Structures are given as structure tokens and as C-alpha cells.
Structure 1
């Protein structure tokens, strides 16, 4: 199977550098050029259940800010899936005098009041990964979440059809993300689009609180008892919920394991693909959006309006194009690819222990 890349017309990468010539216009603001060079900037992430924030998003943002502004200070906080904690962190960085806040909200609805507090103080707010639909933002940076959902779902349908799995023999489960996460809502919408017209009915679906893999596992365990051999496949919205689904199948003695989707290309998710337990994932290197967010911040600090390649919920946005990954293109589009001079994932990271045989079969060494 050839690599499948999601095409999003609105998400062209033109004008990636927001301070490039022709990409900026003066906007109202109070930050002087001198202040910008020593500004405090907050980077507020939502949870620690996904390793991406600590391992990729934070380092990517900090590194790009350092390149753009050597004397700027990044205040990093992680809310550990606690909306109240994130509110406290938001107010804390405001009290420390930040000039801009990049926030990946735990609760997209609850974050509206936080945005309003910042705007009242003249602080720029950039939503990151997860949108804040009802807030007036300075910018939104993300991969295209709706396209992600559509890609993983349509890929699963195509796989089942290629394997001659009859729609009359059962149906699919859908394990969505957190109900308080607007990005999860976009992924869910895309999943529904990807399944529409595919011929496979949805047996049941579930919105996973806080994206918690253990809650996904618990729900899927109940569906195994309920439907058992009728489960033809599962559209899971990320690698965590996909991993929880696979654990439920193994604990329930369901063999062979129906194909399961994922998203984020985590080490665990990629290893499940290598082992043959997970069917697909989405490669969306966090360093790409983290670097873009830093460029947006730097432009706004210098009273320059970043050019948008899209508009989402009324806010200017930059939406990047991710890549669908299966066993067939994992080596080509993950192991052999680099972002910022570093491989997305290395054979050393993926191929230890019980994954060595699978890596060998896929030519990953």
C-alpha cells in the first residue's frame, strides 16, 4: 500500500515564517520592539497522558522561541487533564506579566473566559492543537483535525473492503476523544464523514473522558461482551484509545484482533503497528506546529499580523497536512523522515525486544 497523504487545499504552507517580507501588516498592540526581545511567553499544555507534549511540543516551541528571541522567557505548564488546574496556571502566568499565551485547552468551552481575561489585559492568545470555538483568538495553529478523522476512518473501510470483509457480518466501534475537547469533536466529525457510504454500520460509539486509555479499554471491554465476533474493526481517535481498545480485545480473548486505527504516531502506537495489532495511525510531528506557534507569537509580539492559510471558528488559522501511516509506509514516512534534522522515530526507539521480528519484516533496521 502506498503512503497516503491527506490533502487539505486551505492548508498550504506558504508564508510559514510569519515575519517574512510581505506576510505582515501593522496591527494594534502595545508591545514595543524592546519589550518583545525580553518578553515572557506562556506555553500551556493539557495533559501528561500523551507523551507528545513533554517530548515534542514543549521542546519544539522552546527551541524555536530561542532561535527567534534569545532573551525571551518561556513559562511552561501542563494541566494533567485538569481544567481547574489549567485555569490556575493561566491566571498565574498572567500575573507574571506574559505578553502572549499559547494554550492547548483541557476544556474548550471553559477556556473562553480565560481568553477574555487575557484579552482584557492586552495579552495575545494563540489556541494550539485544540480550538476554542466561542472565543475571539489572535490565531489558531494545528494539524487539520477533521481531515485526520476522515483519513483514519476511510482507510479502515478501504482495508476491510480489500480483505473482502462483508458488511453483513457485523459492524464497527467508534472510540472518540474527550467530549470537552473541540479538536476531538472535529476528529469525530471527520470519522463520521470517512465512514459515511462505506457500507459498514456503527455498532456503538463512545466519547472518552480526558482521552483516558483506561476508560476506552473499559468501554470496549463491555462492547466485546455485547457484540463479540460482530466487531469488524474500531475507529479509535488516537493511539492511546487505540491501545486501550487492543488491550480490551486481548483481555477478552478476541482473536484475531479486528483492525484498530490511531492517531499521533506515538512510539507505543507505531510499535503496535509493527506487531500487527494496530492498523494505522497519523504522523503529525508536533515540532512542526510548535515551531509555527512560536513564529506566530514572535510576529504578534512585534505588532505584525500573521498571514492565515485558513479560518476556523472565525479565527485566523494555519492548518498543517498530516500523513496516514500503516505498516506499508511506516519505514518510509516515519523512520526515514526527519523534522528539524531529527528522525521522527528511529529503529532504536521502535525495534527493541518483541518488536525486533516485526521491524525485520518491514525492513526497519
Structure 2
């Protein structure tokens, strides 16, 4: 998302945490593995629909914790898109004696009371990827306003000479319960306002099905031939939007995304999606692990979290913000392939072989 080289080779990978599946571990109804308190760090992720969380964030986080603290355990649970379930998972972590909780909030406001309860019990809380409300000790994510700016600029770049004040753009934002969504939206508006006509704007709730419905409504309202481009706040929603566009006979217009999901990269190769934003998962997960271990061991975090952000609850939070990168067909090799997020073989399956050859990937 930022025009900066991503340093994913900075830290070697350790083995995935034994605490997430070793013999004798017990499973509770939240889907987390149980290994007791002591030197235990809790990791709570918001959903399993977004591919990155369980495929990348979780194993990278676990491996880095193990690398930094060989006798530490990671207690993991996924909220499956349910804020109430995530609140229960925080309670379960407290009961199990977890010392630090790293949480990517399903609902940043709803989790505030759970975080306060944890802190009252002497537990340190790190907000991961999304700035949760309440007395969190640290926050690690990307510069999310910059993410939105990159998305908006990529849309303008793809429009080229068609980017005029009369060009009608559809804007499908993320879930308002996620503070990141508002920051992406802010950045995108900073890039787009005054340059194109944002003729239809709605939330897609981070769901491909909802985004598809919103896109259909936009086509009905504006007319298929009147839409110059589509801003989608992430790749998951872009998938639903792309399906709707195809069904309406619309092709060749710019469509943004975010998260550099494999399906999004493949759509870019195929010319269905024009761009995504790559937030390197490994550096983010490893930064969160470092903060968590430092807090667990009573070490200073000022050198790591050297910025301060204000959460929705008004709390001043020490923050570490990483740099995102815009990805188009032109720099797939230099970003997600170079960083070994995906191999050419991952991207260039049989359905995309011809497009990959044309794009210079094979």
C-alpha cells in the first residue's frame, strides 16, 4: 500500500505454535486450543471469511511468538464474524489466565467493555489491524488513510483520460463497525473528490453478497453504460461486484480492491479487477507478536509503537503503522511474488494460464 519495499525477509520463520494443536490440548466451544495460563498470549481474529487471517496472520504470529519466547503459548480463537462470540472468547481467555490478548476486533465499539474487563484483571491488550476501543496498550496496523488514497489513485490511474468530473463512480465501502473502513473511505475520498462523480456510495459490510446486491442497485439507479469505474474497499467484496458486473454485461471498467487475496490477484491478471492493496501480513503479524511478547515480559514498547493514535473511545494509543503498497498487473512480480506470498503456480492455474502468459508471469 505504500511505495516502500516490504521487508518480509527480515525475520526467519519458526515452527508453528505447538499450543494450537499439540496432543493433549483441549478445545473449547469457541474453537480455541487450550493450554492453560502462564506465559500465554491470546490471539483473537474477527472472521474466517477473509482469507488472510487464518492462512497468514495466525501462523505468522504463532511462529514469531515461538521465535521470541520458546516457552510461550498462543491461545487462538476466531469470532466467525460474530461480535458477541468474540466477547465470549475474551471472557474465556481471562478465565484461562492469558497474560496478553492480541485482538482484531469484529466490532471495535462493542468490544470496549470486554477489553476493560481484561485490563481490570491485569491483562495487556494489543489491538491488531483494527483500532479497538477501550484501554488497549498498543496498536499495530497499516496507515489506513493511505490505503484508501492508494485505492482512489489506482482507480484514477486506471480511468486515465476518462477520469473527469462527469465520470460516474460507484463506491462500495467496508463495514462501519470497523474503524479501518472509515479510514479507507476517508483516504479514497481525498483522492477521488473533485476528480470524478461519486454517483452511488453504500456499505458492503465486508461481504461479497452484500456488495453484489449494492452493485446491482447502483446499476439499476445509474444505468450500466453510465458507470465509469467501481471503488471496492477490499478484494472479497470486489469478487461479488465483479460477478454482478459480468451478469450485467459490463466489462473493461476499473475495479479496486484490498488485501491482495489470491482471487483478487487472479482477477487482476485476467483484467477483471484493476488493482488491490498489499498489506504484507508477515511484518504486521510479527510486529504484533513482538509487542505482545514485550508486554508479557514487561519490556518497553516505545521504540516499537512510536506513534500515537486516538481510538473511537478517546483513548490515546501507542501505535506502530506499517506501509502498504498498491498492486496492479504491472508489479505483481515485484510485490506478492517477490515476497513469496504466492508463487506463480498459485496464481497461474489452468483458468489463468493464458492471461498469465500475456501478463509476463509465465
TM-score, with length taken from structure 1: 0.86
C-alpha distance in structure 2 between counterparts of 1:169 and 1:299, whole Å: 52
Instruction: Name the structure 2 match of 1:112.
Output: 112
Q: Of the candidates 354, 357, 361, which is equivalent to residue 358 of structure 2?
A: 361
In structure 2, the CA distance between the partners of 1:87 and 1:295, relative to structure 1 (3 Å rule), is same
Q: Of the candidates 186, 191, 209, which is equivalent to residue 189 of structure 1?
A: 186
In structure 2, the CA distance between the partners of 1:62 and 1:166, relative to structure 1 (3 Å rule), is closer
How much has 1:283 moved relative to structure 2? 1.2
C-alpha distance in structure 2 between counterparts of 1:168 and 1:302, whole Å: 55
C-alpha distance in structure 2 between counterparts of 1:175 and 1:137, whole Å: 30
Matched, 1:70 2:70: yes
C-alpha distance in structure 2 between counterparts of 1:94 and 1:169, whole Å: 55
Instruction: Answer yes or no: is the 8 Å Cα contact 2:45–2:105 preserved in 1.
Output: yes
Instruction: Answer yes or no: is the 8 Å Cα contact 1:234–1:259 preserved in 2.
Output: yes
Instruction: Name the structure 2 match of 1:219.
Output: 214
Instruction: Name the structure 1 match of 2:127.
Output: 127
Deviations 1:257-308 (A, max 9, x none): 4210000000000000000000000111211111111100111111122122
User: 1:237-256 counterparts in 2 under 5 A?
Assistant: 237-254=233-250, 256=251
Instruction: Name the structure 2 match of 1:330.
Output: 332
Instruction: Name the structure 2 match of 1:318.
Output: 320
How much has 1:168 moved relative to structure 2? 5.7
C-alpha distance in structure 2 between counterparts of 1:352 and 1:273, whole Å: 14
Matched, 1:266 2:266: no
Instruction: Name the structure 2 match of 1:304.
Output: 299
How much has 1:136 moved relative to structure 2? 2.2
Deviations 1:143-201 (A, max 9, x none): 111110111101211321x2x2153653101111111101111111111111123x201
How much has 1:207 moved relative to structure 2? 1.3
Instruction: Answer yes or no: is the 8 Å Cα contact 2:38–2:97 preserved in 1.
Output: no
Instruction: Answer yes or no: is the 8 Å Cα contact 1:274–1:359 preserved in 2.
Output: yes
- Secondary structure, counterpart of 1:206 in structure 2: strand
C-alpha distance in structure 2 between counterparts of 1:259 and 1:233, whole Å: 5
Q: Of the candidates 228, 235, 241, which is equivalent to residue 232 of structure 1?
A: 228
Instruction: Name the structure 2 match of 1:22.
Output: none
TM-score, with length taken from structure 2: 0.86
Deviations 1:112-140 (A, max 9, x none): 111101110010000000102x4221000
Instruction: Name the structure 2 match of 1:146.
Output: 145
Runs of 4+ with deviation above 3 angstroms: 4-7
C-alpha distance in structure 2 between counterparts of 1:107 and 1:361, whole Å: 42
Structure 1 portions without partners, runs of 5+: 17-36
Give the total of aligned pairs: 328
Instruction: Name the structure 1 match of 2:280.
Output: 285
C-alpha distance in structure 2 between counterparts of 1:59 and 1:99, whole Å: 20
In structure 2, the CA distance between the partners of 1:168 and 1:149, relative to structure 1 (3 Å rule), is closer
Instruction: Name the structure 2 match of 1:90.
Output: 90
- Secondary structure, counterpart of 2:299 in structure 1: coil
- Secondary structure, counterpart of 1:178 in structure 2: coil
Structure 2 portions without partners, runs of 5+: 12-36, 311-315
C-alpha distance in structure 2 between counterparts of 1:202 and 1:327, whole Å: 25
- Secondary structure, counterpart of 1:140 in structure 2: strand
How much has 1:309 moved relative to structure 2? 2.7
How much has 1:5 moved relative to structure 2? 3.6
